[in-house]
Structure formats: C-alpha cells, structure tokens
Structure 1
C-alpha cells in the first residue's frame, strides 16, 4: 500500500550497516504513515518489506536494521547496489552509499 525510499551514507568509517540504517531512517522519518489507523488495524500488524542496495551486501547486519523500526513485522532483502566512492588519496575506507525501499502493507480483515 505504501512505498518509501531513502538514501544513507557512511562518510568515513565505511560501515555498510550504518549507511543502510541511515537510509531506512530517511525513508521512515520523512513521512508520517497513518496506514494502520486508516485501515483499522494495529501498528504492530503492519508488514514492512525492507530492500537495501549497497556495494557489499554481505556486510549489512539486518539485526541492527530491525532495531530501527518502532513497530511492524519486518523482513529484509539486501542486494548489490548503492555506491562506494573511493577517497581521492586512494587510501582508507570508501564513502559508502546505500539505498532503502520500504514496502508497507497490512492484512485487512474482511467485513
């Protein structure tokens, strides 16, 4: 019913998990989602499919991402995407960019 998008970065540490968490926060806190109230269900009943794109999907800890969500049932798909930007001097961690897409739905009881 709702799709939200966000971009997150880790500028110096090269943390893919932190970049993904910032992308999730950007998607969540940009909007006030009243879907549960509108559909007459509890917020804890929202189903949130989280898709993360970053250059190193194996370095994203989804248990950390799950803690970002205040409610809802989350599932995660982390795939290759995003962007790593190398430092001009050629040393150190790259700047990591991750994208998040949150697909929110609810099971609506039949009347």
Structure 2
C-alpha cells in the first residue's frame, strides 16, 4: 500500500543578525504549519499516528542544520526532515552582516485507501 499526499505547505524564515541556519529553518517550518488546520482527522476519525510528515528545508549551508532537533519540534505524525542547498544568504554591503533565509516544504501523507 502506498501513501497519498494530502497537504503541502510552504514557509519562509530568517535570521537577521546571528547567521543561524537552525533558527531560520525552524522559523520556515513554523511559518508553513502555522497556517494549517486539518479537521479531517476528527471528521473521519483518523489517528494522527498514521500520518507521515516529510519536511524539506533549503538553506545555503545544509550541514549547519540539526534535522533531528527540527523533527522533535513537530507536533504529530511520523516525521522526517532533510536539508538541501537552497534559501539565500543576503549580505548587507555596508555592514557585512549576513541575513540567512530558509525555505521549507512540509508535506503530509496518509495510507492510500482506494
């Protein structure tokens, strides 16, 4: 039996002064899920444990992100988090400060019941 994606949410987060990729990634994930509500679990009497959640985070330095810590911060489902090269590092030419911008896609899957 295969899974079927039933939701995908996108988010963006940043760290303006600390060059903290972890913080930017966490904020991108929070931005994505902050706008989601899935009433079908109650309406269809589904168990949240059946849901598989796949998170992909794009940052300029993927190795600087602790995927396990990000996964631990998500509230429901069987969670996997991966990082890829993406996002942006924006340099202020006057100060040299680097703003880290992360993007995230949060996908949720349930077993196909067709």
TM-score tier, shorter chain, comes to 0.7 to 0.9
Determine which of 25, 29, 51 is the counterpart of 2:56.
51
Contact 1:37–1:43 (8 Å) recurs in 2 = no
TM-score by length of 1: 0.87
Equivalent residue number for residue 104 of structure 2: 100
Cα distance in 2 between the residues matched to 1:99 and 1:90: 24
Matched-pair contact (CA < 8 Å) for 1:36–1:43: yes
Matches for 1:5-84 after TM superposition, within 5 Å: 5-84=10-89
> What residue ranges of structure 1 are gaps of 5+ in the alignment?
none
Q: Considering only aligned residues, what root-mean-square deviation do their CA atoms show, in Å? A: 1.8
Mean Cα displacement is larger for which, 55-64 or 33-42?
Answer: 33-42
Residue 86 of structure 1 pairs with residue 91 of structure 2:
yes
CA 1:35/1:21 → structure 2, altered by over 3 Å: closer, same or farther?
farther
Deviates more, 1:23-32 or 1:60-69: 60-69
Quick check: 13-22 or 65-74, which moved more? 65-74
The structure with the greater share of residues assigned to strand is 2
TM normalised by structure 2 equals 0.85
Structure 1 residues 53 and 35, CA gap change in structure 2 (3 angstroms): farther
**TM superposition shift of 1:64:** 1.8
